[in-house]
Amino acid sequence: MKYKNYELTVGLETHIELSTKTKMFCSCEVGFAGEPNSRCCPVCLGLPGSLPVINRQAVEYAVMAGLALSCKINNSSYMDRKNYSYPDLPKAYQISQFDVPLCYDGFMTLSTGKVIRITRIHIEEDAGKLVHNKGETLVDYNRCGVPLIEIVTEPDFSSSEEVREYVEKLQHLMRYIGVSDCRMQEGSMRCDVNVSVKTAGCETLGVRTEIKNMNSVANMIRAIEYEYTRQSKVIEQGGMVTQETMRFDEAKGVTIPMRSKEDARDYRFFREPDLLCVHLDDKEIEDIKEKIPMLPSDKIKVYTEELGLSITDAQHLVKYRRISEYFDEVVRLSPCAIKASKFIIGQMFSLFSTEAEKEAFSVKVSPSQLAELVALFCEGKINSNLAKVTLDKMLLSGKGAMEFLSEEDMRGFTEEELYILCQKAIEQNPNVVSDYKGGKDKAIMALVGFVMRESKGKANADKAKETLKKLMTD
Ligand code: ADP
Ligand code: MG
Ligand code: ZN
């Protein structure tokens, strides 16, 4: 960034749709796409006389999200009406939480060690969708009343890279604990980005603009960088930044002030009279805590510190919850975690190409079948190559390792047999031997190859190399 004298400050408000079966206050189904206005009822349309009932699962998911981000949970929080008029909001108010949110005071630690404070997480309902088409605008209320959480951070980000890491980590975490699919393109995760600049070293923050409804990380970064430059220029030229709500024009790559509902600052919040407060006693909060799986960051610690995996392999395994749970199960049944991780990351992971496939991780080999194969390898009954070939057959057929391995295969390979084969390799390849003795160290690999072929892959390549070296220096 070229404005050296100005520092960037960003705060994020992230909306995440919860993966509940039904909406926040009625039993209409939650879903993506489909026939417009096919998933609505008097409650989510706000027809007179209808009464909302709070979705317990949504509250539970929101608490899970809060706990995963180290938030405190209010035993009693309140639903409020946020009043505004807009065509996508048939009730002319949104049920949200104003002064007493469900969760507060959390944080997320970035890879640099920097802590991003989470101010609050509250529950609310989504609005409908306006569909602009050839000069006319249609309204689809299917999304009306879909449960949302809004996660608000303190203005703690000082670069767009930090924003990227936060959003990606948040997305991973929420998917991992199973509260949302967080698909930015489909709108199940959307970010409002608050941006300001201030003179380097200055204590007070500058005036901010808020860019609404960003639906990709790449665009968020473009928008932040554009705003940083624009605001820096304004200040440098002696002007003042106006606090306003903006949208990002993806095609032009610029932010544009919006004249919208957000201009009216007064939402006339008041308690939702049709709902009781959201009450959770400590026992209920504990019970919800039990439902959260071990978080990716904690798992990475166990994998590296207790199981001896590399950090890269550990990160690979926790990227998708099913894969890491599959791995956990294999490790529970077999002693060799490192080998198991290599099979999963290498041979099994490469079967899938799309994100959805990786997330589903549907393989024909059960954890206990893989554990059996890994055990055969660890006990030295089969070598790495045979294990690999066998796993391929298992993945295609869903059958266990023993279906493909004979007594002969599992007999292993004795020191003596190896010795005899190495001698044979030397006898039959005099040219290679003289190359090696003449100083071409790499020539030995040709002899190792010979031994591997003759033993049908059963010999251990490292041991063969060692034996060959000894034989040729004696
Ligand atoms: P509102 O409710 O009007 O959107 P809030 O005070 O709740 O305003 O702040 C919303 C978001 O704006 C928060 O994420 C906060 O961190 C961020 N924010 C507040 N002040 C600044 C600032 N000066 N620069 C950047 N972000 C800011
Ligand atoms: Mg806001
Ligand atoms: Zn409904």
For ligand 1, whether the C-beta of 155 sits within 6 Å is yes
Total structural domains within the chain: 3
- Going by C-beta distance under 8 Å and a sequence separation of 6 or more, which residues neighbour residue 310? 304
Higher-scoring residue by pLDDT: 376, 65: 65
What is the spatial distance between Cα 36 and Cα 24, in angstroms, rounded to a whole number?
19
Residues 27 and 141 placed together within one structural domain of the fold: yes
**Mean pLDDT, to the nearest integer, of 176-196?**
96
Tell me, in angstroms, the distance from the centre of ligand 2 to residue 11's CA. 10
**Mean pLDDT, to the nearest integer, of 313-329?**
94
What is the spatial distance between Cα 157 and Cα 5, in angstroms, rounded to a whole number?
17
Q: What is the per-residue pLDDT for 259?
A: 62
Ranking 61-75, 385-399, 400-414 by mean pLDDT, the lowest is: 400-414
Strand partners, 82: 94
For ligand 1, whether the C-beta of 286 sits within 6 Å is no
Closest ligand to 39 CA? 3
From the CA of 196, give the closest atom in ligand 1.
24
Whether the pLDDT of residue 202 is over 50: the answer is yes
Residues 143 and 80 placed together within one structural domain of the fold: yes
Residues 282 and 364 placed together within one structural domain of the fold: no
What is the spatial distance between Cα 37 and Cα 46, in angstroms, rounded to a whole number?
14
Tell me, in angstroms, the distance from the centre of ligand 2 to residue 99's CA. 14
Q: How confident is the model at residue 264 (pLDDT cuts 50, 70, 90)?
A: very low
Higher-scoring residue by pLDDT: 459, 106: 106
Range of the domain at 429: 415-473
Tell me, in angstroms, the distance from the centre of ligand 3 to residue 64's CA. 24
Instruction: Please give the backbone phi and psi of residue 254, each rounded to the nearest 5 degrees, phi first.
Output: -130, 160
User: Do residues 65 and 102 lie in contact, with contact meaning Cβ atoms separated by under 8 Å?
Assistant: no
Neighbours of ion ligand 3 (CB under 5 A): 26, 28, 41, 43-44
For ligand 1, whether the C-beta of 245 sits within 6 Å is no
For ligand 1, whether the C-beta of 98 sits within 6 Å is no
Ranking 162-171, 353-362, 405-414, 425-434 by mean pLDDT, the lowest is: 405-414
What is the spatial distance between Cα 75 and Cα 53, in angstroms, rounded to a whole number?
19
Helix count (H) and strand count (E) of the chain?
16, 16
Q: How confident is the model at residue 355 (pLDDT cuts 50, 70, 90)?
A: confident
- What is Dmax (Cα atoms) for the chain? 98
User: Do residues 163 and 219 lie in contact, with contact meaning Cβ atoms separated by under 8 Å?
Assistant: no
User: Do residues 83 and 93 lie in contact, with contact meaning Cβ atoms separated by under 8 Å?
Assistant: yes
End-to-end Cα distance, the chain? 65
For ligand 1, whether the C-beta of 208 sits within 6 Å is yes
User: Which token pair is 155?
Assistant: 């203005």
Q: What is the per-residue pLDDT for 44?
A: 95
**Mean pLDDT, to the nearest integer, of 353-379?**
91
Whether the pLDDT of residue 455 is over 90: the answer is no
In a domain, 133, yes or no: yes
pLDDT tens digits for 283-309? 999 999 999 999 999 999 999 999 999
Question: How does DSSP assign 244-294, residue by residue?
Answer: -EEEEETTTTEEEE--SGGG------EE-TTS--EE--HHHHHHHHHTSPP
Closest ligand to 141 CA? 3
Last residue of a domain, one of 287, 308, 328: 287
Last residue of a domain, one of 259, 287, 315: 287
The protein residue whose alpha carbon is closest to atom 22 in ligand 1 is 208
Indicate the average pLDDT of the chain. Answer: 92
Q: How confident is the model at residue 261 (pLDDT cuts 50, 70, 90)?
A: very low
**Mean pLDDT, to the nearest integer, of 351-379?**
91
Residue given tokens 């998911």 in the structure block: 61
- Going by C-beta distance under 8 Å and a sequence separation of 6 or more, which residues neighbour residue 55? 20, 22, 23, 24, 25, 147
For ligand 1, whether the C-beta of 11 sits within 6 Å is yes
For ligand 1, whether the C-beta of 90 sits within 6 Å is no
Q: Length of the chain in residues, anyone?
A: 474
Residues 35 and 149 placed together within one structural domain of the fold: yes
Q: Is residue 52 packed enough to be buried (19+ CB in 10 Å), middle (13-18) or exposed (0-12)?
A: buried
In a domain, 1, yes or no: no
- Confidence (pTM): 0.85
The protein residue whose alpha carbon is closest to atom 19 in ligand 1 is 155
What is the spatial distance between Cα 158 and Cα 163, in angstroms, rounded to a whole number?
8
Q: How confident is the model at residue 403 (pLDDT cuts 50, 70, 90)?
A: confident
Residues 388 and 351 placed together within one structural domain of the fold: yes
Residues 256 and 378 placed together within one structural domain of the fold: no
Ranking 245-254, 337-346, 459-468 by mean pLDDT, the lowest is: 459-468
Last residue of a domain, one of 388, 410, 432: 410
Q: What is the per-residue pLDDT for 2?
A: 60
For ligand 1, whether the C-beta of 287 sits within 6 Å is no
Residues 371 and 272 placed together within one structural domain of the fold: no
In a domain, 392, yes or no: yes
Whether the pLDDT of residue 443 is over 80: the answer is yes
Ranking 33-42, 373-382, 431-440 by mean pLDDT, the lowest is: 373-382
Strand partners, 209: 195
Ranking 120-134, 368-382, 398-412 by mean pLDDT, the lowest is: 398-412
Q: Is residue 170 packed enough to be buried (19+ CB in 10 Å), middle (13-18) or exposed (0-12)?
A: buried
Whose CA is closest to 431, among 448, 449, 446? 446
Q: What is the per-residue pLDDT for 453?
A: 85
From the CA of 156, give the closest atom in ligand 1.
16
The protein residue whose alpha carbon is closest to atom 6 in ligand 1 is 154
Instruction: Please give the backbone phi and psi of residue 201, each rounded to the nearest 5 degrees, phi first.
Output: 85, -15
**Mean pLDDT, to the nearest integer, of 17-38?**
94
Whether the pLDDT of residue 474 is over 80: the answer is no
Q: What is the per-residue pLDDT for 265?
A: 63
For ligand 1, whether the C-beta of 153 sits within 6 Å is yes
Which DSSP helix (H) or strand (E) runs through 450?
A: helix 444-454
Residues 60 and 154 placed together within one structural domain of the fold: yes
**Mean pLDDT, to the nearest integer, of 173-178?**
96
Residue given tokens 């309140």 in the structure block: 78
Whether the pLDDT of residue 65 is over 70: the answer is yes
**Mean pLDDT, to the nearest integer, of 34-55?**
95
In a domain, 419, yes or no: yes
For ligand 1, whether the C-beta of 457 sits within 6 Å is no
Residues 241 and 368 placed together within one structural domain of the fold: no
- To test the pocket of ligand 1, the residue of 198, 208, 263 to mutate (highest count of ligand atoms within 8 Å of its CB) is 208
Whether the pLDDT of residue 390 is over 70: the answer is yes
Q: What is the per-residue pLDDT for 413?
A: 74
Residues 454 and 342 placed together within one structural domain of the fold: no
Tell me, in angstroms, the distance from the centre of ligand 1 to residue 116's CA. 14
Closest ligand to 25 CA? 3
For ligand 1, whether the C-beta of 12 sits within 6 Å is yes
Closest ligand to 52 CA? 3
Residues 422 and 358 placed together within one structural domain of the fold: no
Whose CA is closest to 378, among 416, 337, 409? 337
- To test the pocket of ligand 1, the residue of 159, 167, 194 to mutate (highest count of ligand atoms within 8 Å of its CB) is 194
Residues 190 and 298 placed together within one structural domain of the fold: no
Tell me, in angstroms, the distance from the centre of ligand 1 to residue 207's CA. 10
In a domain, 369, yes or no: yes
What is the DSSP code (8-state) at residue 306? I
Whether the pLDDT of residue 139 is over 90: the answer is yes
From the CA of 13, give the closest atom in ligand 1.
14
Tell me, in angstroms, the distance from the centre of ligand 1 to residue 301's CA. 34
In a domain, 253, yes or no: yes
From the CA of 207, give the closest atom in ligand 1.
23
